[in-house]
Amino acid sequence: MLLWGLAGIVVGLLVLTSPGVALLAFLFNIAIWAIATGILEIVAAIRLRKEIEGEWLLILGVLASVAFGIFLMVHPGAGAISLVWLIGSFAMVFGIILVLLALKVRKLGILTT
């Protein structure tokens, strides 16, 4: 626990002092994850080709995942901007949904403060 805590402090300090490096590491983590899962899913699709129909759809989706991972590695700046737009869009849509839900709950009189 002590080592884990110290590692957390060191990583936190690195992120605070070099946010660009932290973002780059985060992007490469996502890229490696996308490529690795893509490759493993291709292997699964090949093994399942006798069991299921339409495995080419799985392979097509996996190729998109691998291409995404490679894109992030080759163009990390564009990947960072894309992630910011994706997170911002999600936050706005989720916020709108929560506001609408709050208004509906208030109108129903289920929860009162």
110 shares a domain with 93:
yes
Cβ-Cβ contacts under 8 Å for 58 (sequence gap 6 or more): 41, 44, 45, 48
Q: Which domain covers residue 15, as residue numbers?
A: 1-74
Domain co-membership, 9 together with 49:
yes
**Rounded Cα gap, residues 46 and 50, in angstroms:** 8
* Spatial distance between the Cα atoms of 50 and 103, rounded to a whole number of angstroms: 51
pTM of the complete model: 0.63
Q: Are residues 50 and 2 in the same domain?
A: yes
Residues 90 and 105 in one domain: yes
Residues whose CB is less than 8 angstroms from the CB of residue 24 and which lie 6 or more positions away in sequence, other chains included? 76
- Residue 86 sits in the same domain as residue 112: yes
pLDDT above 70 (res 112): no
Residues 70, 80 share a domain:
no
d(CA 5, CA 3): 5
Query: Does residue 91 share a domain with residue 51?
Result: no
Please report the pLDDT score of residue 108 as a whole number: 77
Number of domains the chain contains: 2
How many C-beta atoms surround the C-beta of residue 31 within 10 A? 20
Is the pLDDT at 67 greater than 80? The verdict is: yes
Tell whether 2 and 20 lie within a shared domain. yes
pLDDT per residue as tens digits for the range 4-53? 888 888 888 888 888 888 888 888 988 999 999 988 888 887 887 777 77
Q: Which pLDDT score is estimated for 74?
A: 92
Which residue, among 71, 94, 95, has the nearest Cα to 82 in the 3D structure?
A: 71
User: Do both 13 and 43 map to the same domain?
Assistant: yes
80 and 66 share one domain: no
Same domain, 35 and 49: yes
Residue 93 makes CB contacts below 8 A (sequence gap 6+) with none
Q: What is the mean pLDDT of the chain?
A: 84
15 and 39 both lie in a single domain: yes
Coil, strand or helix at 48: helix
pLDDT at 55 exceeding the cut of 80: no
